[in-house]
Chains A and B, each alone.
Chain A
């Protein structure tokens, strides 16, 4: 009896030991599964998310985004801004300070030369760098001392956080990659498979498109991290199998990007081995409204500004269409935990999120009917509203996808209730998103009255995204049907806001402008946002410290992961 008590007490004391007290490598082994397999560990040579995320275990940027989209210093001491003097007043240069005492995993010190080299590596002549847009407009990089890096731009950059920020633009070691510049970059397989990094782990074995074995970095800056001594990073399979491996069988600790139907995921997690986590970025499923007439009778001028739409130019109709939609139900049917209803086309980051339009979250069929009645649209004998001989009959197109077709059927039913007739059309995704100017079925040509798809933007800065709905961005025969302004929206006030944002550096002011633009689009009912779609991953119940991040690599804080005992 006594012995048992002692043992129990000892066990309890052990269990209560705080995680912070655990030292490096105390928690043994962790298994990660990505159902798309990484082919290398160098994000500069691959645009794929899988390579980027695998590499983020090893190499790191100066600053990155946290789970809320805020910038946090990583290898840098702090994030430079105009206020703290890190960004020059003319917005043409930014000065980064490295943390002191940083070491590469081979024990050599990290210097500003390595940072400068990362820029040279990506922009080297003859090399196809996948992340070169991160280094757009960089004129030169200056290294006044070992720890200081000054990036000079050739234009004023209100948002200077492209270079060396985020998992897409990490710092690589100059000594290792010096001979791998430009055309030689892809040939350096040893370097590309096992880069020397500053991150919590080091590659011990890399099998392309299969398994990566890693161990804890002995020179990692925090002596108590990472908690895991070794990592197995398995690639390949499909989302269902990956979900099973974590949620049903418990073979793996972490599974990435589980794009599965909500009830399939719910069935898996009911086994109790793991937890489904989701996090939200900027991906919004939306209905675009065509303000131009897509009638084939106009020939080459169909769906151009020359012929305004017969009834969708009436704001009351657009608003009624929005009011009739039950966004909560759409989320429940199509995305479950991986989605949430939204009334904004710019749903995140938090500082850009407007709350002015949240009224759309509640379905209001009666209100929509009254609105149409007041606007003079009277219900005809066939149950469809009409005014002056124009019937509210809509052609509704989207890409072929089971969830989207369910959405179409539901929305058609709601629109029928308010007296709007809907014809559905679904187009193969590769054609619909194919941007081929020869095909009539692309989402840019928009030969329909409304269309539904999802879109988001890279990073956290919405400037270029909000410029999509500038007047000149409308696809038309003159620009070979390229452009992102699908509704062919054209407003002088909106264009002014876009121009203003391009020259504004202050973050709060930028947020105000972005919100104003979002509200303008929403309150004009040019775009009907439906669902804010998140990313879904799963981790074993015994894996602690996971913070899902859609703004950066999902493995961004792998150093903080630990085993729950």
Chain B
């Protein structure tokens, strides 16, 4: 035992100095689920980015003679009621869904964390900011979305074209309507942390607010942020599907996983595979992201790391 300990301490001594992020990676590696999840998510991301360039059938190509086909060599996922290749549409749809999910999540995360930290740390701002959060929580989501989309669809469409205009709008809409939970959780954690001795110590040596937040508070609230981030991706993908279903999202011929799923529900009895593909893709992606979040939380938490 002592020898082993000695050996490792020697190794430690001769190891070159390394950054904190190597430690995070070392910790992350030990979480098997997170590794598999990360690998799968990477695979999905690569597939939807590169896939459409490699797969020879376009997602819009209508081949009316080959409609409602079961999976075959020519169409690995079968074809839909207009003879469009489901595999191509899955790849293209994944591009949009993953992009919407990640971007909207990032937006709501940044916004929610900012509000949460500021509200928790600065006592004067706490009241107004939390009332602001309550206000957003109290807003009925769907009517709000309807109004936003009605007001800004045409200007954005004119400025960025139908698809990217709607993309910006949807990401923005989902982002600004899903940050409240993050903000509340972060504020709660910050309030608790503020009373801890190490904060008092940091304050007593004259650490400025900016450093207090970035050095002492943020790393300690990373785990709840990570959890809400992973949930956020899932939520964003699902909200986008709901919007598409209401006809407020992307144009109907522009596939996303949510839309593919909704389109397929009519054919649930006859062609169940059409529901299974997008459903599986959404579930597996969300599951993978959740595992990544789990692993990251362990790896980023300074109290767990290194044990």
Which residues of A pack against B, CB within 8 Å?
261, 263-264, 267, 296, 329, 333, 399-400, 402, 405-406, 408-410, 412-413, 423-428, 439-441, 447
Contact = CB atoms under 8 A, between A and B. Distances in A.
B64 A424 contact: no
19 contacts: A264-B269, A296-B155, A329-B64, A333-B67, A333-B81, A400-B245, A400-B252, A402-B263, A405-B252, A405-B253, A409-B252, A410-B64, A413-B60, A425-B252, A428-B246, A428-B247, A428-B248, A439-B150, A447-B154
B204 interface: no
B247 A412 contact: no
Contacts of B252: 400, 405, 408-409, 424-426
Interface string B46-65: 00000000000000101010
Contacts of A424: 251-253
B246 to A, nearest CB: 6
A361 B67 CA distance: 22
B104 to A, nearest CB: 22
Looking at A333, A406, A427, which has the most chain B CB atoms within 10 Å of its CB?
Answer: A406
A264 B253 contact: no
A410 B62 contact: yes
Nearest to B149: A441
9 residue pairs, one from A and one from B, having the closest CB atoms:
A400-B247, A426-B247, A405-B252, A424-B251, A296-B154, A409-B253, A413-B62, A426-B252, A423-B162
A265 to B, nearest CB: 12
B2 interface: no
Given A409-B62, A410-B82, A413-B62, A296 B158 contact: yes
Secondary structure at the B interface, as helix, strand, loop or mixed, is loop
B266 interface: yes
B88 to A, nearest CB: 14
Given A409-B253, A428-B248, A440-B154, 10 more contacts: A261-B266, A329-B64, A333-B64, A399-B247, A400-B252, A405-B263, A409-B82, A409-B84, A410-B62, A425-B252
Interface string B23-62: 0000000000000000000000000000000000000101
A136 to B, nearest CB: 37
B20 interface: no
Nearest to B246: A428
A426 B248 CA distance: 8
Contacts of B72: none
B253 A333 contact: no
B19 interface: no
Given A402-B266, A413-B60, A425 B155 contact: no
Interface residues of B, number: 24
A225 B102 CA distance: 71
Nearest to A297: B158
Nearest to A399: B247
Given A409-B82, A423-B251, A426-B252, A441 B150 contact: yes
B12 interface: no
B32 to A, nearest CB: 42
Nearest to B269: A264
A440 B154 CA distance: 10
Looking at B64, B158, B247, which has the most chain A CB atoms within 10 Å of its CB?
Answer: B247
Contacts of A426: 247, 251-252
B62 to A, nearest CB: 5
A409 B150 CA distance: 23
A406 B82 contact: yes
Contact of B253 (A412, A440, A441): A412
A342 B253 CA distance: 25
B270 A267 contact: yes
Given A333-B82, A402-B266, A413-B60, A408 B158 contact: no
Nearest to A429: B247
A296 B263 CA distance: 31
Nearest to B161: A423
A17 B266 CA distance: 46
Contacts of B245: 400
Given A296-B155, A333-B81, A410-B82, A425 B251 contact: yes
Contacts of A425: 247, 251-252
Contacts of A408: 252-253
A296 B156 CA distance: 12
A261 B264 CA distance: 13
B82 A264 contact: no
B155 A263 contact: no
Interface in B78-110: 81-82, 84
B263 to A, nearest CB: 7
A435 to B, nearest CB: 16
Nearest to A261: B266
A229 B162 CA distance: 63
A409 B247 CA distance: 15
A402 B252 CA distance: 10
Contacts of A402: 263, 266
Contacts of A440: 150, 154
B245 to A, nearest CB: 8
Nearest to A441: B150
Nearest to A334: B81
A359 to B, nearest CB: 22
Contacts of B155: 296
A399 B248 CA distance: 11
Contacts of B158: 296
Contacts of A264: 269-270
Nearest to A409: B253
A413 B253 CA distance: 10
Interface in B176-219: none
A410 B253 CA distance: 10
Contacts of A412: 253
A425 B62 CA distance: 19
Interface string B253-275: 10000000001001001100000
Contacts of B68: 263
A214 B68 CA distance: 45
A123 B1 CA distance: 103
A302 to B, nearest CB: 10
Contacts of A261: 266
A261 B248 CA distance: 25
B214 to A, nearest CB: 44
Nearest to A414: B62
Contacts of B67: 333
B167 to A, nearest CB: 14
Contacts of B269: 264
Looking at B68, B251, B252, which has the most chain A CB atoms within 10 Å of its CB?
Answer: B252
A289 to B, nearest CB: 20
Contacts of B81: 333, 406
A186 to B, nearest CB: 35
B64 to A, nearest CB: 6
A294 B44 CA distance: 41
A425 B68 CA distance: 24
A141 to B, nearest CB: 49
Nearest to B251: A424
A238 to B, nearest CB: 14
A518 B196 CA distance: 82
Nearest to A424: B251
Nearest to A264: B270
Nearest to A438: B150
Interface string B262-297: 010010011000000000000000000000000000
Contacts of B246: 400, 428
Nearest to A413: B62
Given A296-B154, A402-B263, A406-B81, A263 B270 contact: yes
A214 B118 CA distance: 74
